[in-house]
Chains A and B, each alone.
Chain A
Amino acid sequence: MRHQRQLTRHTATVAATLACLLLAACSAGSTADGNADSPDKTSDTLKIGLTAEPANLDFTKTAGAAIPQALLYNVYQNLVKLDQSGKMQPELATSWTLSKDRKTYTFQLVKDAEFSNGAPFTAEDAKFSIERVKSDWTISLKSQMDVVDTVQAVSPTELKVTLKEPSNDWLYRMTTRLGAMFSRTGVGKLATEPVGTGPYTVKKWNRGDSITLARRDDYWGREPHFASVTLKYFKDPTAMNNALLTGTINMIGQMQSPDALDQFKSNSKYKVVEGSTNGEVVLSLNNGSGPMRNPKVRQAVRYAIDHKALVDTCWAGYGKPIGSMVAPTDPWYQDLTNEYPYDRSKARQLLEESGEAGRTLRLRIPTLPYATACGTVVKSQLEQAGFKVKLDQLEFPAAWLSTVFKNADYDMSIIGHVEPRDIQAVFGDKTYYTRYDNPQFRALLKKADRGTQEEQTTYMREAARLLSRDAAADWLFLLPNLMVADKGITGLPVNSVSESLDLTGLSRS
């Protein structure tokens, strides 16, 4: 009897161990995590609920939106930053001028800025930071700084940057993580101890739970209202909503379940804010191989999608239809939603003409909330227009990145391209996973980058229209910036137009 019991128990032990291994191996798509601190006791602390926790704090070596969201403008500062309407504002530079040949930028820098390690900020640090992108950064975005030719610290407060060729885009990129200013003596432990000139420092990081930023006493500029801001990470949208409802957090910085907004809208304790973002939710099409090479099939796809019905079903009606790869906060935005108005019979006809009607299209989507929500709707709309669609869900990030993004082994996918001004990155490189290869389009982008501001606007508009006409992809909608906060919180960054969740303007009335 006892032996039998022991046997059973050991079998169970082995089974439990195996279960662990299986769990590890099968790489479950969903995850646990996040968590809480105490409800606020003093009026000058703030707790914000967010979705994606950074894996580490070094955005020079780790890609993704999570690290700059927490650190940029708050811990790190740039020479220039973007405000809520997407306009460029001075930060560590007080002013700048552009030479006649449009190749040399001269920046006048602030005098009294200091890094959190005590070192003063000078033009030498700016030179160091810009040159370091080329020498030390590993993320693919670094190529946006390739246009820099020489950087010269003329005096402690004057910096001269010469480009290889004129580029409007370069100055814009200086507002992103690429333009973050590092201390020459503060880059030893970027993954865990970031050093910047910003008003906050990273005080505490409870991994799997939260990052707490503390206001610097020795900050050189205007001090922000909150002495401490805790960014709490929730994998589960319902848990985040409950945390706000029970006072564990004061604000939801990124609403992932728009259908839950009503419970906050009807409650006078909260304010709901709907703004714009740079996140184009793209139904990306493989322009390089398979049935999607055929322009008629791509056009048929665009005619077959009913965007209004789609947004209503999968994102609770929040989200603006855009029609091309330009966010409404960019100066050259134009409404291109009428290039391919919803027309099922036209879609059917184009599909017939293409000769690809019998082919099964692989819609391979990542396991992300908006993609899984919209994937089934896209599939059913396409099927109603005569397409044959097979829907695969690939675990995000690892499986989706290697299958779709790296190997372009797909016909269609759904992904939110959240980087600012990413029309060039997504469609200007024929080796990118969209495999869009149009020399005319690339020439327009180049002309826009080199030209004056008016020329830039004209050519960017032309490029966006060409992209839309070519049906290089279908743009499902623009991700809305949905925030919910306690009524008293003011200065919410309504539009998410930069890479940063800018905490410096937040206050409490």
Chain B
Amino acid sequence: MIVRLMQRIAILLASLVVSSVMVFAFMAVLPGDPARVALGTSASDTAVAQLREEFGLDRPLVVQYFNWVQGLLTFDPGNSYISQAPIGPQIADRLLVTLWLVVTGMVLACILAIPMGTLMAVRHRRPSGLILSALSQVGVAVPAFLAGILLITVFAVGLGWLPANGWTPPAEDPVLFLKQLVLPALSLGMVQAAMLTRYVRSAVLDVLREDYLRTARAKGLRPTQALLRHGLRNAAVPVVTVLGLHLATLLVGAVVIERVFVIPGLGSLLLDSVSNRDLIMVQDVVMIIAMAVLLVNFLVDVAYLVIDPRLRVGGAS
């Protein structure tokens, strides 16, 4: 178990180093001088040189890389070229917003998908199972932003039950926060649920065919009991993998939903920074997203060890 865990941590650290080098190198080869971009077309050469010095852009790339990494490690990535405000708090604020959105969407997806998927698997030959299956097929085909626009049209503009867009931090006004969270989280959650349902269904179907389930039935357990006691845990491994993957992609994918619902999250910060050519901000945001993706994968790995005791032994394989 310990060896396994150490392996995973080593992989995580190595991936972090590689991705940081990639992100840095990529931004470094992009055409355009960040200082000139920041100052605009009418700036004089001396002003540009001054700003380059201020941001350390005149130093060798290797030095710049280590300064940047040091800034990230000490949680002090410096100031944005464009807004001149500290980057750290801005990213933290936006990341928190996106996390609220994505995690709520994911939880909604799980609440919908796990029972539905299981039901579809158990009844996969009966009409009810087929109908659910068809519904989820439709759900997979609907993009989240379309779901969002439809939800806004019906529940906000049409019925007036919920605000059409906007974001309020929970500490400021918890009720409004929840009201504003419902529609975007639903649009993300429903579409995710549709996809997840299909994974749950096939995982449970696989498990239903296993010998140990037949043995459990032979011991006298009813099908539902057998499935709950022995099946779901086994079915969970592939589902957790998919969950982890989706969580990571959602961090970036939520940008469309952020736009439709006018939510100041990480994705919109990235897009804004790109269009303002705030290159240091772009670099930091991309790195944070890469880190989040790697971290989620690491956690999924650890989750395997918890869910599946078989993986804990034989660590040296």
Contacts and interface: CB of A to CB of B under 8 A. Distances in A.
Interface of B is mostly: helix
Nearest to B301: A6
6 smallest CB-CB distances across A and B, nearest first, come from A36-B166, A32-B259, A32-B268, A208-B264, A140-B42, A242-B164
Contacts of A207: 83, 85, 90, 93, 264
Interface string B227-265: 000000000001001001100110010011011111111
Contacts of A2: 311
Contacts of B156: 242, 246
Given A25-B30, A55-B82, A248-B164, A35 B274 contact: no
B23 interface: yes
Interface stretch (A195-203, A292-300, A394-402, A472-480): A394-402
B168 interface: yes
B272 interface: yes
A16 interface: yes
Interface stretch (A161-169, A231-239, A415-423, A493-501): A231-239
13 contacts: A9-B244, A17-B293, A23-B270, A27-B274, A28-B271, A28-B274, A32-B258, A32-B271, A39-B163, A61-B39, A63-B42, A239-B262, A246-B156
Interface of A: 2, 5, 9-10, 12-13, 16-17, 19-21, 23-25, 27-39, 55-56, 58, 61-63, 138-140, 191-192, 206-209, 234-236, 239, 242-243, 245-248, 395, 397-398, 401-402, 405-406
A35 B40 contact: no
B8 to A, nearest CB: 11
Contacts of A242: 152, 156-157, 164-165
B173 interface: yes
Given A31-B271, A33-B268, A138-B39, A192 B166 contact: no
Contacts, number: 186
Contacts of B19: 17
B74 interface: no
Contacts of A61: 39
A151 B93 CA distance: 45
B182 to A, nearest CB: 13
A208 B94 contact: yes
A474 B260 CA distance: 36
Given A63-B40, A138-B43, A401-B41, A19 B164 contact: no
Given A13-B297, A36-B167, A38-B168, 7 more contacts: A16-B249, A16-B293, A19-B252, A24-B27, A31-B272, A236-B260, A246-B160
A17 B85 contact: no
B165, B278, B289, B300: which has the most chain A beta carbons within 10 Å?
B165
Interface in B98-154: 152
B303 interface: no
A497 B283 CA distance: 40
Contacts of B202: none
A20 B252 contact: yes
Nearest to B278: A55
B47 A191 contact: no
Contacts of B37: 398
B290 to A, nearest CB: 5
Nearest to B271: A31
A263 to B, nearest CB: 10
B39 A23 contact: no
Interface residue range, chain B: 35 or more
A239 B165 contact: yes
B267 interface: yes
A191 B83 contact: yes
A235 B259 contact: yes
Given A32-B258, A58-B84, A248 B166 contact: yes
B270 to A, nearest CB: 7
Interface in B161-183: 163-168, 173, 176, 180
A404 to B, nearest CB: 11
B276 interface: yes
B294 interface: yes
B210 to A, nearest CB: 14
B270 A24 contact: yes
B294 A56 contact: no
B22 interface: yes
A58 B27 CA distance: 27
A236 B173 contact: no
Contacts of B83: 55-56, 191, 207
Interface in B52-67: none
B41 A402 contact: yes
A277 B275 CA distance: 26
Contacts of B82: 55-56, 62
A234 B22 contact: no
Nearest to B39: A138
Contacts of A247: 163
A283 to B, nearest CB: 21
A8 to B, nearest CB: 9
B282 interface: yes
B241 to A, nearest CB: 6
Nearest to B277: A398
Contacts of A9: 241, 244-245, 297, 300
Contacts of B30: 25
A405 B85 CA distance: 28
Nearest to B15: A13
A9 B241 CA distance: 8
Contact of A35 (B39, B165, B248, B286): B165
Q: Most chain-A CB neighbours within 10 Å: which of B19, B84, B248, B286?
A: B84
Contacts of B270: 23-24
A24 B286 contact: yes
A234 B258 CA distance: 11
A246 B157 contact: yes
A248 B173 contact: no
Nearest to B164: A242
Nearest to A407: B41
Contacts of B285: 24
A206 B264 contact: yes
Contacts of B297: 9-10, 13
Contacts of B311: 2
A13 B293 contact: yes
Contacts of B244: 9
Nearest to B291: A17
B72 interface: no
B269 A208 contact: yes
Most buried by B among A61, A208, A235: A208
Contacts of A405: 41
Contacts of A25: 26, 30
Given A9-B241, A398-B277, A31 B268 contact: yes
